[in-house]
Amino acid sequence: MYATAVVAARVAFEDGANTATVVSLRCLFAALAIGIAIRVREGLSGRRGATTARERWIFLGLGVVFALNVYAFYRAVELLKVPLAILTFYVYPLMTGGFSAFAGLDRFNPRTIVFALLSLAGLGLATGASPEVVDPVGIALALGSGAVIAFLLVVTTRYLNHVDAQRRTFWMMVSTSAVLVLATLGTGAAVAPASPKGWWAIAVVCALYAIGLVSLFTSASRIGPLRTALMMNLEPVIAIALSMLVLGQGLSGLQFAGGALVIAGVVGAQLAKAPARI
């Protein structure tokens, strides 16, 4: 979902829309769509879930943090070459492992760390990252963005796992979308696409982002934040493949080799974390 949304966003950008517009609309739609989905689900089941006022305030606060993550990542993309920004951001599975071990969710597993490093090295090849020109501010922003994602995955899993994933995501998206929309409108940064093609692309981004976001937190609840973060290493590889099919952007031999390493690293990390057979 995330990888396809990246390609759709690129289509919207080529049609004249900008990052602030696409990101604000996707988060606003996610909040509305998830809120409606919760109502429909509760109406069909006849049961209503509940969150305490304290939990809602915590999720709203985490949503503001998530908005800062969105800004930091896209600002890093402006300051760095896109492949380098992506590579730097995707250090976050390693950060997730450290945070997860510190929070008592996982133990440090040397084999998992080795496979995570292998996956990260493969990601460097797959994205064609090249540290020819390095802006230290851009590097710091990309690392900060990755740290925020790792922090959110671990915190919500460790302390708020009892709250339904949809409800968690909804309250976070309420404050995230509010911050982004107000910032976009307040700075006059909103730019609409030039044709219906761009609007359709934004609609695809919104729909896929909402589904992917709920899936992300559901995954963290079911298989843990570290495994979830490691699986997310597949996102840029899939995005590159879709770019080749949809946008006509080809892959080099090294990029294909990098994609293979990413998949090998993810599968190896999963096997390293698998419980022993009795």
pLDDT of 20-40, one tens digit each?
Answer: 888 899 889 988 888 888 888
CA-angle at 243, arms to 238 and 248, nearest 5°:
145
User: How many domains is the chain partitioned into structurally?
Assistant: 1
Cα–Cα distance list, 93 to 42, 144, 227 (Å)? 34, 13, 8
% of residues, the chain, pLDDT over 90: 9
- Each residue of 67-92: pLDDT tens digit? 988 888 877 777 776 667 777 787 77
Cβ burial of 133 (10 Å; 0-12, 13-18, 19+) is exposed
What distance in Å separates the CA atoms of residue 131 and residue 220, rounded to the nearest whole number?
32
In a domain? residue 278: no
What's the one-letter identity of residue 247? L
CB 168 within 8 A of CB 31: no
Q: Show the tokens assigned to 72.
A: 């930091």
In a domain? residue 31: yes
Residue 32: give the domain boundaries.
2-273
In a domain? residue 116: yes
Entry pTM: 0.73
19-31: burial string, b at 16+ Cβ within 10 Å, e else: bbbbbbbbbbbbb
